[in-house]
Amino acid sequence: MGADCKSAGSAFSGSNPLPTTCLSESRSIATLIRIVGVVNSGRTLSVVIPYFNEARFLPVLVERLQVIANDVKCFIFVDDGSTDSSSKIIQEKLENADLSYQIVEKENGGKASAVQAGISKVLTSHVAILDADLELDPLEIPKLWEPIKNGEAEAVYGYREFRAHSSYTFRYSYGNKFLSNFYGVLFNEVISDIMCGYKLVPVEVFTSRVVKSSNFGIELDLTVALWLARVKPIEIAVSYKARGKSEGKVIGVRDALQIALRMIWLRVFKVRQSQRGN
């Protein structure tokens, strides 16, 4: 039977343990990350899983999550206002699953709002975001978690190697490369696949003022928040199985342009504001 994980977690997670009013944002987040890394020797992981109308994928997803249950303290499922049978299916599957979990239900507001709703329930030192569509394999979470668990890193990013058998389209794969390279030009940092959804980070990163995007831009916001905190993620290759528009894929050219414009805005305005306090 599934178990509730509301009481699981560490003393430093889910809330800000330090007063930050007298610190610049980059210094305060960096301090929080160092404290979690040094004091919280028992690092723990939660996985936030936002979903919208993913009924066809949820049964397989729950099966795979049970395989990695020993590495994850809590699975937090966030139903972003699904209109299909997702809510019923997830309830049925989790009742018979050997997982510690919570279910959060909310009105539809996009990926970023669903992620933030899940983050508000996190009680562990670190968090991973996992889309429910199985484009990224949940079975690879343990290899991403290993460097953090062993104290070798504070953040780990997955990156995809786009190939003929795994890419969605040529434009999609090169759009991802463009965004990663454009970020590198603006921030002078190498991130191989900035839009990859596999990011394992300290939960405190979500308190950053730059983590404000309403949808897919949250991938950029998290990266900029780490950049401000002077934390470089370790990158690990992950498998990728692209789905098409008929299967629910929604990100497109307009989203990419919005993210590129947000990169410029963050670099010119927000980053300068944060750096003035150093």
Spell out the domain ranges in the chain: 3-275
The per-residue pLDDT for range 220-267, each reduced to its tens digit, is: 999 999 999 999 999 999 998 875 555 555 566 788 889 999 999 999
Average pLDDT (121-147) is 96
Decide if 218 contacts 112 (C-beta within 8 A).
yes
Q: What is the overall mean pLDDT for the chain?
A: 83
% pLDDT > 70, the chain: 76
pLDDT for position 238: 95
With tokens 């991802």, the residue in question is: 176
Average pLDDT (150-157) is 96
Alpha-helix residue ranges (DSSP H) falling in the chain: 25-39, 58-67, 86-95, 111-119, 141-149, 170-187, 218-228, 253-265, 271-275
Whether residue 98 has pLDDT greater than 90: yes
Phi (first) and psi of residue 32, to 5 degrees: -60, -45
Alpha-helix residue ranges (DSSP H) falling in 40-122: 58-67, 86-95, 111-119
3-275 topology per CATH: Spore Coat Polysaccharide Biosynthesis Protein SpsA; Chain A (3.90.550)
Whether residue 277 has pLDDT greater than 70: no
Report how far residue 77's alpha carbon sits from residue 87's, in angstroms, rounded to the nearest whole number.
Answer: 10
pLDDT for position 115: 94
For the chain, how long is the longest CA-to-CA vector? 53
User: What is the reported pTM?
Assistant: 0.82
Report how far residue 187's alpha carbon sits from residue 224's, in angstroms, rounded to the nearest whole number.
Answer: 9
Whether residue 202 has pLDDT greater than 80: yes
